[in-house]
Every structure is written in C-alpha cells, then in structure tokens.
Amino acid sequence: MTLDAEPLGQNRPAPNASGESDEEANKSAPSIPPTPPAKTHCEVTCKTEKDFWDHVKTGAEIIGIVLLAVYTGYTIKMYCANKQSADAATRAATSAENSVTQARDNARLEQRAWVSVSDITPESQQGQNWTISIIFKNTGRTPAKNFVIRGIGEPVAKGKKTSSEEIILPGHGIIAPDGVFHSNFSADGGFDWKSVDLVIHGKIEYDTVFGSSHWTTFCYYFVPTSKTGKGGFAPCDSGNDIDNNPP
C-alpha cells in the first residue's frame, strides 16, 4: 500500500511570512480615537433642571432687589411726610402756646397793679430842715402787695448828680386799686437856689397778685417861685423809670 505524501511547505505559508504581513497591516491602519460614552438620561435631565433653577434664583434676586429699593423709597417718603406732619404739629402747638401766653400776658397787663408817684409837695420847713410829702398811687386794677419804699432828699449842686444812698422808709403792706400811700422825706441843709437844688429820689418795689415783682424809680427837684422858698417839684432829667418784667 502506497501513501501519497504532500510536499512540505507547498500549500502552507511560513510562520514568519504570516507575522510580517500582520505587522505591516497594523502599521498601515489609521489611529481612530475612542468614542466617548453616551450621556445618560439622568445627566441630561439634571443639567436642564439645574439651569432652570439658576435662572429662577437670579430672577428672584433681581425681584428682591427691586422690591427692597421700592420699599426703601416708600419708607423714606413716609418718613419725610411724617416729619413734615410732626414739624407742622409742633409749629401749630408752639403758635397756640404763644397765643395763649400772649393773651394771658395781655390780660394781666390790663389787670396788674401800677404804682408810681402821684404827688410831691413841701410839707414844712423849719430853718434848714425840710419835710416833703410824697404820695404813691396804685392806678392798676388789682392790689399791689409787699411794697417797700427807699428814698432820700439831699442838696445837689446845679449840674451835678445825686450821691446819697437811699434808705428804707416806713410803710409796708398793700395798696388797693386806686388807693394811695403817703410817705414823708426829710432833707437837711441850707439851699442857695442859685447854686443848689433840693432833690428827692428813690424807688418803690412791689408784687402783683400774679406773682411778679415790679419797681418804679423817681427823681424830683425843687423849683422855687419866690425868695421865700415857696414853689413845687419838677421831674429830674433822669431817674424816673419802670421795669420791663412780665406782668
């Protein structure tokens, strides 16, 4: 029996030849980058929702800023309006208070006591000693209380000012409306009417029924009409005044 042997290497390629062909094929094939994995449904949905809420947040912040600005402007406007109202109310209250005070002062001014010198005359003269009678009268509509009189009579060289200190005279109490109070002054000294004047000066202080204090100053000098010394008193150029205290 005879076997037909196939010659070695006729139909089978050599291993090296096959390896070289594969390597050349691999070298000639282009390099293709790998395809990234496709996004999942969750990633797409979540990103869309995040973008939506970011827009909502931005819009809400803008709306909040606008509302805050509007509220601030309204608050400022209300403050200004309230301040104007408060200022107007304050002015009205002050004006009303001033009106009441003025009306009260006017009423008191009409009703208060007014005390001043009503008359002054030489009462008597013995040698060089003079006694002068002075009458104080309340011409107001209410009593004058707690009156105190200070005064003195002195010889004063013509053109000169008085220098003697006034002393408290007898008399204290109340002078009724339209009432009078008599007081006497003494003056010592010889008088040469050509060079010397007999001057009576002083001050009366008193209170009103409204609780305020007042004063009146007075100054008179003797004017002789004959060599015997008869005559009367005339007001000095200064020294007759009243206070400006509230009534």
Q: Output the six-digit token pair for 95.
A: 């004006």
Check residue 8 and give its pLDDT: 47
Q: pLDDT: is 39 or 212 the higher one?
A: 212
Cβ neighbours, 10 Å, residue 223: 12
**Is it the case that residue 233 has pLDDT exceeding 90?**
yes
Q: pLDDT: is 87 or 46 the higher one?
A: 87
Highest mean pLDDT (candidates 27-36, 54-63, 121-130, 195-204): 195-204
What string of DSSP letters covers the chain? Answer: ----PPPTTSSS--HHHHHHHHHHHHHHSPP-PPPPPPPPHHHHHHHHHHHHHHHHHHHHHHHHHHHHHHHHHHHHHHHHHHHHHHHHHHHHHHHHHHHHHHHHHHHHHHHS--EEEEEEEEEEEETTEEEEEEEEEE-SSS-EEEEEEEEEEEEEETTPPP-SPPEEPS--EEE-TT-EEEEEEEEES---TTTEEEEEEEEEEEE-TTS-EEEEEEEEEEEE-STT--EEEEE-SS--EE-----
- Distance of alpha carbon 241 from its chain centroid, rounded? 34
Average pLDDT over the chain, rounded to an integer: 83
pLDDT tens for each residue of 63-94: 989 988 888 888 898 889 888 888 888 888 89
Using H for helix, E for strand and C for coil, what is the string for 79-95? HHHHHHHHHHHHHHHHH
Confidence of residue 245 (pLDDT cuts 50, 70, 90): very high
Mean pLDDT of 141-168: 94
Separation of alpha carbons 58 and 47, rounded Å: 17
| CATH class of the domain comprising 115-242 | mainly beta
Cβ-proximal residues to 124 (8 Å cutoff; 6+ apart), any chain: 130, 131
What is the reported pTM?
0.62
